[in-house]
Amino acid sequence: MANAMLLPVLISFLIMPFSAMALTQDFCVADLSCSDTPAGYPCKAGVSAGDFYYHGLAAAGNTSNLIKAAVTPAFVGQFPGVNGLGISAARLDIAMGGVVPLHTHPAASELLFVTEGTILAGFISSSSNTVYTKTLYKGDIMVFPQGLLHYQYNGGSSAAVALVAFSGPNPGLQITDYALFANNLPSAVVEKVTFLDDAQVKKLKSVLGGSG
């Protein structure tokens, strides 16, 4: 009973520092000369209007690559003004036939807004492996919950462009194909955990630059 009564008090003490910071500090522009931490970057000493502005998403990304797609980030590393604000952004360019393979953002949910072209997108729930897919056209938006595997590919007859918002300043990115086949994880291990045969694993490692 005593422990139950103490729990609200402990929770109050835990959230008080964050509440106080929110009330007394308008912003904390990242000092990128320091290391990132779970709580974000330390605050920069001298701040200007330029710290709250970023032009990097104006230009199209280079889609001349294996997946025919490019993600241009406006995360805290490129846009220090989002440090501590729980937001960031990116631009997604997908050429005809291009794809952003199954991937996850471990530290943020994603909101995708199509500005040009047609994008087929979907995500997979972690509880039941249910797939939620949708064809998105110019002006459409779709949300991808934090940590869930999702994908996008160009299903139209022209290049596709989308603007992406994230619920964290550094959402992280792990592409499943690259995690499995673009490193030195031994082929025998990959075969065991994926049920693929040796020839398939080695072919994918060759394509994606892996070894072992």
Residue (of 5, 159, 177) closest to 185 by Cα position: 177
Annotated binding-site residue? 55: no
Annotated binding-site residue? 110: yes
Query: Tokens representing 52?
Result: 């709250």
Contact 146, 104 (CB under 8 A): no
Distance between CA 29 and CA 144 in Å, rounded? 27
What's the chain's Rg over C-alpha atoms?
21
Residue 117 burial (CB < 10 Å; 0-12/13-18/19+)? Answer: buried
23: left (phi over 0), alpha (psi -120 to 50) or beta: alpha
Distance between CA 162 and CA 144 in Å, rounded? 14
Length of the chain: 212
Which three-class secondary structure state does DSSP give residue 141? strand
Binding residues for oxalate: 105, 110
Binding residues: 103, 105, 110, 150
Binding residues for Mn(2+): 103, 105, 110, 150
